[in-house]
Structure 1
């Protein structure tokens, strides 16, 4: 069975050390934010004596949150290029989430990355029954971060706002229009990350800059099929 799928399965590649560190910082940030919110809500229900102790805890958690944000920004500055920070509304939290929890960015097609994130409409057909397409599965934390980033981008990015209004004018529900923008935003991050993360490389074949070849992997596979000589990789600084 393994021989039948050997040419179809992608070899597992472990995330880079900086991506693992960024993922740990992201997980710790979620814990601190949850605890900080709970402490702030509980201060209104306690006596003044206990409230003083809780305020010290809130101050410590606030300082820790600021330190975590500084560490995450340092990693983003060192390993992410401005191409990943070009879109309005896509803040540092979304950038950290996409780089830490979606290390496949830049190596998949637009359809594959949409399914991996969980924003691709999946059918529910059986025989002659055609069900409604819905999104499901995927990586929940990335999808949540993408949803919040898209809400902000629709407000501040004129291009996305015009596209959203066009979908609404065509009769699409608000949530359906947002999901469509989610898939486009995931595709944008996919194309921006293809060969543009520091430490990765890009195919140096100048004859394969076609709009149909979305990713670096597709360019190199096409070069191999055509028998082109340029198969070297050049690092991207």
Structure 2
């Protein structure tokens, strides 16, 4: 178990990591960001100087401050992934939003301790927002202030607000049908918010996010934030989310998670 003083120190370091990544990313947002196409089986897969530069800055600080820690990142791969502490990084989640000038991209930084996600953050520095959480609780840090995060109850699933990124691009046919069934069962659906939607579940403005085809860096940072705010997560079958990613449900309360899994579990 992490001791409270250890968690406090790592929490402060996580804030520092977000500041370092923001210093790289923000000058490139809505500017010359050096867009490239990594290619792949699903077509256009963008990467920018912001993605690479921010991850490099984060890794540099980790190496300087905690050289015994491991790192898993989207841009530069794995370094000691079996270490006791492992940082899991997605420097710009939502690169498509980033290159389109939309402030819905986020920086995701998570920390595993003995294989389990224990601390995480969802940062949106253009809006001045940092959502950060652990078992000790979650909070929103914004422009010099801090306030606790709390998910909201969803006693009537027909009134739920749900989100996913892009069902046409990210879901297989069975998953797209599950998404259509979810939309019929709920009040309102939003698309294209990427990991910013995770933050909205933690903040209590949305109820459920479902995604598929995720990597570890797409989801691990969000899990402690959701837990610390009182929410829940699982894969589409209601099982724990694996270290390699896969499918994901984030929900503000248990009833919403169960109602979602009753639908997605059929995909």
Q: Which has the higher helix share?
A: 1
**In which range does the TM-score fall when normalised by the shorter chain?**
under 0.3
Q: TM-score, normalised by structure 1?
A: 0.28
Structure with the larger RCO, 1 or 2 (CA within 8 Å, 6+ apart): 1
TM-score under structure 2 length normalisation: 0.26
If each structure's strand is expressed as a fraction of its own residues, which one has the higher value? Answer: 2
